[in-house]
Amino acid sequence: MIDVQQNIAAIRQHIPSGVTLICVSKFHTAETIMQAYDAGERDFGESRVQELLLKQQALPVDIRWHFIGHLQTNKVRQIVPFVHMIHSVDSVRLLEVINREAEKIGRRVKVLLEVHVAKEETKSGFMPEEILSIANSEASYSSLSERPIAIPTIYPWVEICGIMGMATNTDNQTEWRRCFREIKSIEQQLLNHSELLNNSAPQISMGMSDDYLVAIEEGSTMVRIGSSIFGNRDYKL
């Protein structure tokens, strides 16, 4: 039987202050999540809107919900009223929709721009040069919208807090480190554009159960850990 609280205690020993642990609770029950909550955790990550809605209604109101999966534009309005942060903004079109839905309810929404540095083509996100083009307030084009963007003037209801990325799915720690260093290098360049980030230090969401220790070594400020806390997922949930 999985001891969630023991797993959290073991992981916490390796997470320095200043790094946020996001407990990835997707496909796990509310009862299992409460074990982590009772251990003091408040940041939880979900990747499916319908599952998140059910859990948000059933679980304590002080949980900070992070959306970490691919977000369809037609579902944005369902989570904008309460989501703490959307980590997976991967297109100009999605930025536009989040801004529009946030304006409707008068709530500024925190987001991270997802950057694609992994070798798998299946992973989504902006290419590194697109992120830097945004930061330089130059014309940047999305393959989905092909329209120039300039932040924050065009999207005043979106608060860009930093970037998110994933390493290549491999056991090769050298490749993990390459990916994380590339993400970190983008963050370093964003530091030159504090107006984009409301004059605050950028957050870097990178690192999961297998590679979070390497991610922290390379500068991660948020790690997304699921199976090392909760065990294998119940995909029938």
Q: How many structural domains are present in the chain?
A: 1
Distances from the Cα of 146 to the Cαs of 93, 130, 156, 207, in angstroms? 9, 12, 20, 31
Question: What pLDDT does residue 129 have?
Answer: 78
9: in domain: yes
* Residues of the chain where predicted confidence (pLDDT) is lower than 70: 120-123, 134-153, 193-200, 234-237
Q: How far apart are CA 181 and CA 219, in angstroms?
A: 8
Residues in CB range of 61: below 8 A, 6 or more apart:
none
In a domain, 235, yes or no: no
In a domain, 237, yes or no: no
In the three-class reduction of DSSP (H, G, I as helix; E, B as strand; rest coil), residue 188 is classed as helix
Residue 144 pLDDT: 36
Q: Is residue 236 part of a domain?
A: no
**pLDDT number for residue 139:** 35
Global model pTM greater than 0.85: yes
Which among 106, 111, 121, 105 has a CA at the least distance from the CA of 85? 111
Q: Which domain holds residue 121?
A: 4-230
Q: Name the β-bridge partners of 160.
A: 111
- 44 domain-assigned: yes
What is the reported pLDDT for 235?
55
Do 191 and 201 meet the contact criterion of CB atoms below 8 Å apart? yes
In a domain, 11, yes or no: yes
DSSP assignment of 25-94 equals: -TT--HHHHHHHHHTT--EEEE--HHHHHHHHHHS-TT-EEEE-S---GGGHHHHTTT-SEEEEE-SHHH
Determine, yes or no, domain membership for 174. yes
> Tell me, what CATH number does 198's domain have?
3.20.20.10
How far does Cα 160 stand from its chain's mean position?
11
CA dist 66 and 178 (Å) reads 26
| pLDDT given for residue 122 in this prediction | 64
Determine what percent of the chain falls in helix, strand and coil, rounding each to the nearest 5.
35, 15, 45
